[in-house]
Amino acid sequence: MTAQARGLHARVLDSLGPAITAGEYPPGSVLRTDELAQRFEVSRSVMREVVRVLESMHLVASRRRVGVTVRPTEEWNVYDPQVIRWRLAGADRPRQLRSLTVLRSAVEPVAAGLAARNATAEQCAALTECALGMVATSRGRQLEGYLVHDMAFHRIVLDASGNEMFARLGDVVAEVLAGRTHHDVMFEDPDPAAVTLHVRVAEAVREGDAARAEALTREIAEGALRELDILAPPPAPAS
Amino acid sequence: MTAQARGLHARVLDSLGPAITAGEYPPGSVLRTDELAQRFEVSRSVMREVVRVLESMHLVASRRRVGVTVRPTEEWNVYDPQVIRWRLAGADRPRQLRSLTVLRSAVEPVAAGLAARNATAEQCAALTECALGMVATSRGRQLEGYLVHDMAFHRIVLDASGNEMFARLGDVVAEVLAGRTHHDVMFEDPDPAAVTLHVRVAEAVREGDAARAEALTREIAEGALRELDILAPPPAPAS
DNA sequence: GTGGCGCAAAAGTCTGACTTTTTGAGCACA
DNA sequence: TGTGCTCAAAAAGTCAGACTTTTGCGCCAC
């Protein structure tokens, strides 16, 4: 699926990055550039570039005479799409999925409210089309088709909000939705209530009703959170 | 303020990065590594590492036979703290500040709600202390002292939410708050209503009242948005 | 006009030498 | 015994130059 032969640099990065985010080298571990270069059978130049990129993601810190130190998790640039992808592919995928879903639940309602104010006619049309597409694929195990429309729907809302920070979460939301379909609940059709909510959000945005768009999207988000609680209960249940 | 002599690599990055985010090289511009290396008087190795990092931020794309192309703004990793810092230091600071404030207004209320559920006793104590500090410095042009407590307050709330994505926005919020004090409204004392709201949020979190913590924080956020509208009206006023 | 051929430009990679910073061990001295 | 200084080694940082690979584009034949 992902491009295979796009330079040594990228290949080493795609090997070392996931290893670090997966905790294979626990925080505080010290690596040495030369040693890594040998291990991956590349020149020091290539390995230095890899380390520089990992450093820019705050996954590691490079210090003279010490080496390349893995940083504690709290310092990682967890918004870097690359880091998100690595973590979603790794062991703490559930934790990551939960974090991202909570983030969605905070951002998307506000984005929908803004979209109701700012969406262009084209965006409204596209949104309605997506909602209809979701309805059309909501029954009969057409999960892949449904997913496509679902991803497009949420991306359009985030784009139409007119806020670039929101817009850039489109990829993240798409990953979360795809992950849900492909790993967790791919055996049953989507919740009919959720489908209806999407249609109504499209309506509200089209009519410029910000408050309603926000409230309805909040309902969608709450549904997603509930779903998550069922599949993977939160770390500390209320005592 | 910022460290001065931390390697050639970092210095060149801190020179080229802001230039790109400032639009000095408009999207689509093509740079050549060798030329850049000459311009900055560094070796190709150093310049290649810089380009790699810029590439990992999606600011540029490097392709053989073509060169290093500046990417369109929509593709930049706008959540990268480095990119945020560069943009806040540059010309479209107001736009950036607005985007971030809207993001805050979406995230912080939800974070406060979670904090009410998850905050430890220590965090509650620290929060109350910050709120009291804000009260103590809210009059008599003690803006710097107020800022310190304000930043700490919001960082604690984001941390206490227990969501790592929220927690990592602490630095961003701190930048926004600092920017407000240092650039925009440093002539007058903070809004007394906002101060009170902070105190009440601390209370709500301490009492574990999630709904109230969320609602109160939403009020704080709305205040910040209103303030922004007064200082720099939004691009398209409602027709 | 269309399609293929080949050139050259630019990034990519490798190697080896040299510099700089920093740590920690060893030693001298109190 | 403990404190502080010196110094050597370790690792990253920097540089220069040669070579490889990809690829856009011009040119030419058809």
- The string of pLDDT tens digits covering residues B65-86 is 999 999 999 999 999 999 999 9
Residue B59 has what DSSP assignment?
A: S
Same structural domain, B55 and B114? no
Instruction: Kindly state whether B72 is in contact with chain A, defined as any CB-CB distance less than 8 angstroms.
Output: no
Task: Using the 3D structure, point to which of B18, B49, B75 is the last residue of a domain.
Answer: B75
Answer for the pair A33, A51: CB distance below 8 angstroms, yes or no: yes
Gap between the Cα atoms of A115 and A128, Å rounded: 13
Same structural domain, B223 and B153? yes
**Distances in Å between the alpha carbon of B109 and those of B10, B79, B113, B220?**
36, 20, 6, 9
Same structural domain, A122 and A191? yes
> Does B174 map to a domain?
yes
The model's confidence at residue B183, banded by pLDDT at 50, 70 and 90, is confident
Same structural domain, B203 and B112? yes
Query: Is strand D in 7 Å reach of the CB of A39?
Result: no
| Mean pLDDT value of segment B215-229 | 94
How many independent structural domains does chain A possess? 2
For testing the chain A interface, which of B47, B56, B218 should be mutated: the one with the most A CBs within 10 Å? B56
How does pLDDT run across A212-223, given as a tens digit for each residue?
A: 999 999 999 999
> Does B239 map to a domain?
no
Same structural domain, B60 and B30? yes
Same structural domain, B149 and B69? no
A185 or A98, which is more confident: A98
Reference B33, options B16, B11, B21; nearest CA is B16
| Mean pLDDT value of segment A165-186 | 88
How does pLDDT run across A22-68, given as a tens digit for each residue?
A: 999 999 999 999 999 999 999 999 999 999 999 999 999 999 999 99
> Does A82 map to a domain?
no
**Domain around A193:** 92-231
Same structural domain, A116 and A186? yes
Same structural domain, B215 and B109? yes
Q: Tell me, what CATH number does A19's domain have?
A: 1.10.10.10
Q: How many CB atoms lie within 10 A of CB A35?
A: 12
Answer for the pair A201, A157: CB distance below 8 angstroms, yes or no: yes
Task: Using the 3D structure, point to which of A75, A108, A132 is the last residue of a domain.
Answer: A75
**Distances in Å between the alpha carbon of A192 and those of A135, A137, A138, A224, B228?**
9, 11, 7, 13, 40
The closest nt to A63, taking CA to C1', is D12
Same structural domain, B147 and B219? yes
Q: Residue A56 has what pLDDT? A: 98
Residues of B in contact with A27 (CB under 8 A): none
The model's confidence at residue A238, banded by pLDDT at 50, 70 and 90, is very low
Same structural domain, B55 and B161? no
The model's confidence at residue A183, banded by pLDDT at 50, 70 and 90, is confident
Q: How many CB atoms lie within 10 A of CB B94?
A: 15
A117 is written with which tokens?
């104010």
Over 50: is that where the pLDDT of B3 sits?
A: no
Gap between the Cα atoms of B213 and B206, Å rounded: 9
Q: Residue A228 has what pLDDT? A: 86
How does pLDDT run across A100-154, given as a tens digit for each residue?
A: 999 999 999 999 999 999 999 999 999 999 999 999 999 988 999 999 999 999 9
